[in-house]
Structure 1
Amino acid sequence: MKRETPGHLSRRQVLRRAGGLTAAALVGSVALTQAGTASAAVASSKRFDLTDGSDEWFREILLNEATILQSFAFDNTNKHLYTAQLVQAGRVLPGETRAYTGTERSTNGDLCITRLDWQGYIIGRMYLRGFGHGVSIGVEPSGNSAYLWTETNALADSNNDGYGTKIARFKFANGTVVQPDSQQVTRFDPVPGSDHNTVAIDPVNNRIAHRHRINGTTWKYSLYDLATFKAGTFTPLATITQPSVLTGPTFQGYTTMGQYLYTLDGTAYTYTYDSAGNVTGTSASNTNVTSIDWNTGIVNERRPSNAGQSLFYREPEGMAIQIPDMANPAAARLFLGFGSEESRTQTDKKASFYYKDLLV
């Protein structure tokens, strides 16, 4: 469950969250053979070894909102990290006349995008009203800034959570608030009538993956050349039906690089307490990472992940590809994101990031 109860912040945490901006700125396992159906011709490539241990990048940093991390993506050119969260309860954005609850924000699909440097400090934020749940985002570098790719035109599901029915592209503009019909937003509808639309970008091969649901039941992934998709031609290089091994678990994110699609699923730990409120035990980890061949739909690997296992309230949230050195894209990293909180009483959400970098 994604709670939004604020906790207490130290002065250093407040400064990090503020990011130096004033309030005025806001105005402006074993290999599996299970497969879904597939139709593709994607050039062969190496894949990340999911048995490789995960290295820590950031542990428990604060983002702009008190809500949990939903997803993230890298601007590898400018060395920026972008994260997506639901707007926290009680925040009043420019142009709004009242504060909204967390439930209302989720239903409407109101998101906050936070930009951080690669030292973990906030250097900007942007708000998206009516876009979606933020399950996955993409970043396309442009000069010293970037275009963001997200879901948009949110439609509430049976749980009253808003998810995108289209895809949006817009330039990051610090301190601004945009809506789906804002002038700077370009919208794409690659599969008319689908819902739960999200995207992820392969920065090594300049491709974009699109996850969506058809007829309220069937999950599909399609892979496109980014430039072709951006031009409005929706001819996929590959289309995969989601393998049934991903049907039961809670889906938490995905990314792509080369011939392989990677997915993340799982939920937060559950805790038991004694009469004094002390933690006496936790449930076992159920976080899993899966790799799937775009050409066949076959699941190559599905492995549990113990990354960040000592975090309190550890919930898997998002995946992305980082290229630490653009001169050496072969040294890419597969990143996993986690949301956590300090304790039972200090429940502002923090974000942690871990990566695998062994290609086979």
Structure 2
Amino acid sequence: MMIPRKKTALAAALALALGGALGGCASTGAAAGAEPMSARAASLPDSKRFDLTEPSYDLFRHKKLVNTTVQQSFGFDIPNKRLFVAQLKNGSSSDANGDLAISRLDFSGNLKGHMYLKGFGHGVSIGVEPSGTASYLWVEVDPEGSSARGTRLARFKFVDGQTLTNTSSALTKYTPVAGSTGVSATIDPVNKRLAMRYKTSGWRIAVYDLADVKAKRYEPLVDVAQPSQNGETFQGYALYGRYFYTLYGTAYSDDNPVPGNSRLSTIDLNTGQRVAGPTLTKAGGTLTHREPEGLAIFRTDGGQMRLFIGFASGAQGDRRSNLFYKNVLIG
């Protein structure tokens, strides 16, 4: 059932009354002290979408990050011309503990700074929020499971050289859907919206106005089930307008030779249906290893929109970062 997004006492009362009838959303009848979640809305404004069949172009290849593990995700601070890449921190226990390394790069791929995060998650996706000359990151936090996945979101200022734990006072934590797991986020930098991917009985996608999440008003603009991708390995996502882009695939191997199995799809968040893909991408086809890792949205100074696709390359113990993009919009 869907209810129009209205910040009124009536809407709040209806949300409390309906509770679990809003399939997939956490109950609004939460315990005392919990942050409430409101009823979902009907739709996002219309927008264009990226043509996944068009060629991809290089931003950079074979760039070093602060650690030597595979990159997991990335995002741009467009006004301040910064790029942030998340990866598991070096060390055999990092995946189990949810320990991450964040590299700050310029748009040429030069390493300019780093942070370490202890007890956060797997880095499936990160959001980047410019605020004046500062960059704030949105990262999963408070992980659970043998391969740590976040249960909440954390927002914090990027400070070069700093190490944060998941109990640091520098964090602000958010729980848009209580009791969910596998929580991660990305930000649409043009429309100032946050998309959260999370799991209850299955994987779901919720989109919020970024300002609402920061104010802990959890009133989703949309909340839909993520369409199945037939068991393929999920590797990242991005949000632009009404469309949600997903990346699936694995590294080259004897069972996955060139051109590989890296595929992109487009989901219309107003219907919850896939409207394009899965489309094979051959971006960076000559890379060694070539493991798909991460998607992000970017707008150039001239207004061109780009969907960036990340790949890890290089030998084990010396993984490198590679970014490519598509720039043709349709619709």
Would you call these one fold, judging by a TM-score over 0.5? yes
Taking a change above 3 Å as real, the CA distance of residues 39 and 247 of structure 1, as seen in their structure-2 partners, is farther
Q: TM-score, normalised by structure 2?
A: 0.85
Counterpart AA for 2:305: A
Structure 1 partner of 2:147? 161
| Whole-angstrom CA distance in 2 between matches of 1:39 and 1:52 | 33
Cα deviation, residue 39, structure 1: 6.0
The percentage of counterpart residues that share the same residue type is: 46
Structure 1 partner of 2:127? 138
1:188 is aligned to 2:177: no
| Whole-angstrom CA distance in 2 between matches of 1:49 and 1:284 | 20
Which of 221, 224, 231 lines up with 1:248 in the alignment? 231
Q: TM-score, normalised by structure 1?
A: 0.78
Structure 2 partner of 1:69? 71
Structure 2 partner of 1:315? 291
Q: Secondary structure of 1:40's match? A: coil
Structure 1: segments with no counterpart, 5+ residues: 1-35, 90-101, 273-280
Which of 201, 213, 217 lines up with 1:233 in the alignment? 217
Cα deviation, residue 45, structure 1: 0.5
Structure 2 partner of 1:348? 318
Which has the bigger relative contact order, CA under 8 A and spacing at least 6?
1
1:172 is aligned to 2:169: no
Q: Secondary structure of 2:211's match? A: helix
| Whole-angstrom CA distance in 1 between matches of 2:142 and 2:136 | 18
| Whole-angstrom CA distance in 1 between matches of 2:188 and 2:140 | 17
| Whole-angstrom CA distance in 2 between matches of 1:139 and 1:44 | 24
Cα deviation, residue 172, structure 1: 0.4
Q: Secondary structure of 1:150's match? A: strand
| Whole-angstrom CA distance in 2 between matches of 1:298 and 1:322 | 24
Please identify runs of 4+ aligned residues in structure 1 that moved more than 6 A.
none
Cα deviation, residue 322, structure 1: 1.1
Contact 1:40–1:296 under 8 Å retained in 2: no
Structure 2 partner of 1:293? 268
Q: CA RMSD in A?
A: 1.8
| Whole-angstrom CA distance in 2 between matches of 1:265 and 1:282 | 15
Alignment of 1:50-61 (within 5 A): 50-61=52-63
Q: Can you list the C-alpha shifts for 1:250-271, whole angstroms capped at 9, x where unaligned?
A: 0000010001000000001104
Counterpart AA for 2:324: Y
Which of 329, 339, 350 lines up with 2:312 in the alignment? 339
Alignment of 1:204-243 (within 5 A): 204-215=190-201, 218-243=202-227
Structure 2 partner of 1:201? 187
Q: Can you list the C-alpha shifts for 1:117-138, whole angstroms capped at 9, x where unaligned?
A: 1121111100100000000001
| Whole-angstrom CA distance in 1 between matches of 2:321 and 2:108 | 13
| Whole-angstrom CA distance in 1 between matches of 2:243 and 2:273 | 10
| Whole-angstrom CA distance in 1 between matches of 2:132 and 2:106 | 16
Which of 46, 51, 57 lines up with 1:49 in the alignment? 51
Structure 2: segments with no counterpart, 5+ residues: 1-23, 25-39
Cα deviation, residue 284, structure 1: 4.3
Q: Secondary structure of 2:96's match? A: helix
